[in-house]
Structure 1
Amino acid sequence: MTEITPATPGVDRRTLLQRAAAVGLMAAPAAGLLSACVGGSDDTQKQAEGTKSADNPLGLDPKAPVEIVIFDGGLGTKYATDVDTPLYNKKWPDSKVTYSATQEISTVVQPRINAGDAPDMINNSGSKLMDMGALVSAGQAQDLTELFAAPSLDIAGKTVKDTLVPGTIEQGTFDGKPYALNYAYTVFGLWHNAKLFQKNGWTVPKTWAEFTALCDKIKAAGITPYGYAGANASYYQYLVILTSAAKIGGPDVLKNIDNLVDGAWTAEPVKQAAAAWAEIGAKYSNKSFLGLKHTEVQLQQDQDKVAFYPSGSWLENEQAADTPAGFEYAVSPVPSVTASDKLPQTAIYASAGEIYFVSSKGKNPRGGMEYLRTMLSKEAAIGFTKLTKTLTVVQGATDGLTISPGLTSGNDMLKAAGSDIFSYRFDTWYKKLDDEARAATNELMFQGGTADKFCQRMQKVADAVKADSSIKKFQR
């Protein structure tokens, strides 16, 4: 059976995969504080466990309750209540699933982890997500190796790992072990209303010259050419800045940033990208967006007051209630900044995002892993995509589906990219860098900042993170 508890009121939306978060994030405790807070009670807590078998490969106790907490953001929560939990209970009818939803994960869940009363499975996302690196370092996240080695729930002859898009497990790996499941496969780019573009005869730009020329035309038509929400969604914007940097200099630009290589943020490709986007912010955006939330700017786009909006492929579903009948979501890659970019214009940032993890010190970690195994079944993945208009990391989960215009556009962009797909990890590894990138991006785009100042500001914080022995370091 399923017990539904009311969602906790909150404010903002999610971060990508992995992501994802926003300006004003609540500071998550450092690993040392986490370890100190949780103390000894939950270290010796009796955890539910059953007998492993072919039908029960993770060895959960079939009668033990499972508690899940879901982030209530752009993906909604119906996939959990209407798809995943019924599927879990179909196999384990005696296991009561206690469910709750919130938009403030760290506010609601962090105190419970610190008190030794962690939920079993948590969707760690939103503008107040918890610091995943700190959770791993404090031993609060369950090693998911057994989960990925277990048989798929409904794809015969394959392990869970075999059913996943390549790179999925690596996206949630810390120090060589998987501690998180990044479930939603998200493509990022510049979103627009295809019907508006058709009506005006506007062509999606591929070069920077085409981009700025089109922005001039859009501006002349009385529409803000480009916008994003500075109050809580500036990570959308620093993502496209870094996308441009990776196209200019190649994917190692982002790898160097992740690995805290000296001078990674002041490298020429990052400066060129920041300078190009600073011009867009100065000439083609609206400074009032600095104080707006994502849904407020997204609503303006739905009203054809904003042409281009940077986001991930969750956008169409997030705006479903406010999207008028004549609006058709479409997405395109970020235009090439220079004629000598190392990656083609079709290259994109795409990755497994939307973090789910199991509490290692909770009452029923094996039940939490089994719930994730349910989510990774093909049936659950299809249900998720139908409800959210978002791909999952389960291969073939859209086979035979009639999908929405936005998701179709994202799929087309993904196919065109081929192997030219990249991502970064610093945002989940080092919260200080993520926070600083949000603030520095708003300064660059809305407050007259310069590329040099942006790069120097980011490098200073990266150097501080690198020198801080209390911060666990990761490499890729």
Structure 2
Amino acid sequence: MKTTKMKNRMMLFSTVLLGMAMATSACSGSNSSSGTNGSQVKQENGEKETKGEKKVLKVAFFQGGFGDAWFKELKSGFEASHENVTVELEGDPGIMEKMGPRFESGANLPDVAFLTNTHWQMWAAQGYLADLTDLYEGQDSDGVTIKESLNEAAQKYALYQDKAYNIPWSDGVLGMAYNKGMFEENGWEVPKTWQEFADLAEKIQAKGIAPIVYPGKVASYWDFVVKPMFVQAGGFDYLNEILNIDNPDVMGNQAKLAALQQFEAIFKNNWTLKGSEALNHTEAQMEFVNGKAAMIPNGNWLESEMKASTPEGFRMAMMPVPAVEGAKEANVYFSMVGDITVVPAKAKEQELAKQFIAFASSKEMNRKFTELTGNFRPFNYSLEGVQVSEFTQSVMDIMSNNKPFTFNSNNPMFTKMTLYPSGDAYGNIVFGSKTAQQQFDDDLAFAKDKWDAYKKEVGME
């Protein structure tokens, strides 16, 4: 919905993006350039490109919570200013499982791929990704670069060994969604701490409702709750230690134990819907919108992903993850910067692909993304005048009033170790095969045991 407070709350998204060089006349009226045999054809007064051979640009994308409406807008807009170009879209919810083998074989490659969060640095190190530094740093006709337009977290995430190999393409909040209608009907306050959550959970259970439903078949959704607790407990200093891990003792920080123990408390107190362990993410979300649970670990794509299945009148919102006891950083949120736009090193139309990415990064296309999906791009752009839902407004409020963090790292040792090197912490704790303390101890012992071998394996010794 549209609110009168939006302008003030969205200072975070102040307009610094002046319009990319590739913005088409259909979207911004600015000049654009073509990929015709390496030459640039200046577009003026809304004229379409008419020179050059006919080309096909293959664009693959993860088709999930964001849907495909924005990609269809990109296709029509880009084709409108490139008369000789046809954009072929490949939307696939299973694209992530398929891209690795396609990179390795070099067969059936797209020219541009919009992918979800992955260890893309490995692809860059293996030579599978095209260097996009010229696109990332090069100025357009207005003197604006993608680097200048991206927010700080996204700027850092684009780089590997001082070169840009991806352009991040989505942003938002990973955390906990709640049934706002249910909360208001019962007079429940959104908990700011886990002690407040514990008190609230008893009230929810007294109504015969489960406090939380979760997708047990997609355990990584618990990251959206547990990782904020890591940062709350240890602060940004601990986050930096984890991301730039230079010795195995980093695994022994008590902040990690505090986060795991609070996660363990969720199950010790039976705060989850019975049977959640057997649900995939869609099934868990269905239980949530059907009122079987008051909250769900999720991201800001939830509303758009469940749009067709949400009962009329159902109201949802995002809330900050409750703070752990003694938090060093209580007011933080997990930014979902991490989804990537890449060009395969063996792509046929690399220059045209770069133009397409620049067009997708334009101010109008960023605004269009939010308008069509209710989600966000990792660019600094204005949303003034864009109507958003109550759910999207709640996400905007979190982003405006809390400090963002990500768990993105270019450190190969972090990639190798991960947070839980000794095994699946969530599964172990949920099913009782390990306590939080045992998981913590095993992770530290594993890190010490494997440290020297892993250093050699990643080429750091």
Bin the TM-score by the shorter chain.
0.7 to 0.9
- Separation of aligned partners in 1, 2:297 and 2:97: 27
- CA shift in 2, pair 1:49/1:248, >3 Å: farther
Matched with 2:132 is 144
The partner residue of 1:104 within 67, 88, 94 is: 94
* Kept in 2: contact 1:334–1:348 (CA 8 A): yes
The partner residue of 1:335 within 322, 335, 340 is: 322
- Separation of aligned partners in 2, 1:305 and 1:194: 14
- CA shift in 2, pair 1:437/1:365, >3 Å: farther
The partner residue of 2:398 within 392, 402, 413 is: 413
* Kept in 1: contact 2:205–2:211 (CA 8 A): yes
Matched, 1:383 2:371: no
Matched, 1:121 2:112: yes
Matched with 2:152 is 166
Matched with 1:70 is 61
- Separation of aligned partners in 2, 1:390 and 1:299: 20
By how many angstroms is 1:448 displaced? 5.5
* Kept in 2: contact 1:168–1:182 (CA 8 A): yes
- Separation of aligned partners in 2, 1:195 and 1:364: 49
DSSP-derived class of the 1:161 partner: helix
By how many angstroms is 1:212 displaced? 0.5
- Separation of aligned partners in 2, 1:438 and 1:399: 46
- CA shift in 2, pair 1:309/1:256, >3 Å: same
Matched with 2:293 is 306
DSSP-derived class of the 2:58 partner: strand
Larger Rg: 2
By how many angstroms is 1:111 displaced? 3.1
By how many angstroms is 1:451 displaced? 1.3
Q: How does 1:76-475 map to 2 (within 5 A)?
A: 76-81=67-72, 83-117=73-107, 118-125=109-116, 131-151=119-139, 156-232=142-218, 234-260=219-245, 261-283=247-269, 284-286=271-273, 288-338=275-325, 340-344=326-330, 346-417=331-402, 420-426=403-409, 430=415, 433=418, 439-447=424-432, 449-459=434-444, 462=447, 464=450, 467-469=453-455, 472=458
DSSP-derived class of the 2:250 partner: coil
- Separation of aligned partners in 1, 2:452 and 2:90: 37
- CA shift in 2, pair 1:271/1:290, >3 Å: same
Which residue identity is paired with 2:267?
Answer: G
- Separation of aligned partners in 2, 1:229 and 1:61: 50
* Kept in 2: contact 1:133–1:472 (CA 8 A): no
Of 191-200 and 172-181, deviating more is 172-181
Q: How does 1:12-51 map to 2 (within 5 A)?
A: 50-51=38-39
Show structure 1 runs of 5+ residues with no match: 1-46
- CA shift in 2, pair 1:75/1:462, >3 Å: farther
Which residue identity is paired with 1:180?
Answer: N
| TM-score, normalisation: structure 2 | 0.82
* Kept in 1: contact 2:429–2:436 (CA 8 A): yes
* Kept in 2: contact 1:189–1:331 (CA 8 A): yes
* Kept in 2: contact 1:185–1:393 (CA 8 A): yes
* Kept in 2: contact 1:377–1:394 (CA 8 A): no
Which residue identity is paired with 2:291?
Answer: D
Of 61-70 and 356-365, deviating more is 61-70
- Separation of aligned partners in 1, 2:122 and 2:288: 37
By how many angstroms is 1:237 displaced? 0.8
- Separation of aligned partners in 2, 1:204 and 1:413: 13
DSSP-derived class of the 2:324 partner: coil
Of 453-462 and 371-380, deviating more is 453-462
* Kept in 2: contact 1:152–1:377 (CA 8 A): no
Aligned residues: 414
Which residue identity is paired with 1:179?
Answer: Y
Q: Summarize deviations over 1:231-269 as a string: whole Å, max 9, x none.
A: 12x222133212112111102222222223422233101
By how many angstroms is 1:203 displaced? 0.3
- Separation of aligned partners in 1, 2:36 and 2:439: 50
By how many angstroms is 1:188 displaced? 2.0
- Separation of aligned partners in 1, 2:192 and 2:337: 25
Which residue identity is paired with 1:380?
Answer: M
- CA shift in 2, pair 1:107/1:310, >3 Å: closer
- Separation of aligned partners in 2, 1:437 and 1:319: 35
Aligned-residue CA RMSD (Å): 2.8
DSSP-derived class of the 1:65 partner: strand
By how many angstroms is 1:157 displaced? 4.2
Which residue identity is paired with 1:374?
Answer: F
DSSP-derived class of the 1:198 partner: helix
* Kept in 1: contact 2:334–2:404 (CA 8 A): yes
Q: Summarize deviations over 1:297-324 as a string: whole Å, max 9, x none.
A: 1111101111121222111111111112
* Kept in 2: contact 1:152–1:373 (CA 8 A): no
- CA shift in 2, pair 1:471/1:371, >3 Å: farther
- CA shift in 2, pair 1:439/1:135, >3 Å: same
Identity percentage over the alignment? 26
| TM-score, normalisation: structure 1 | 0.80
DSSP-derived class of the 1:281 partner: helix
By how many angstroms is 1:403 displaced? 0.5
Q: Summarize deviations over 1:216-241 as a string: whole Å, max 9, x none.
A: 11111111112221212x22213321
* Kept in 1: contact 2:176–2:224 (CA 8 A): no
Q: Summarize deviations over 1:113-148 as a string: whole Å, max 9, x none.
A: 2222321111222xxx76412211111112221112
DSSP-derived class of the 2:296 partner: strand
- CA shift in 2, pair 1:458/1:80, >3 Å: farther
* Kept in 2: contact 1:242–1:270 (CA 8 A): no
Show structure 2 runs of 5+ residues with no match: 1-34, 45-50
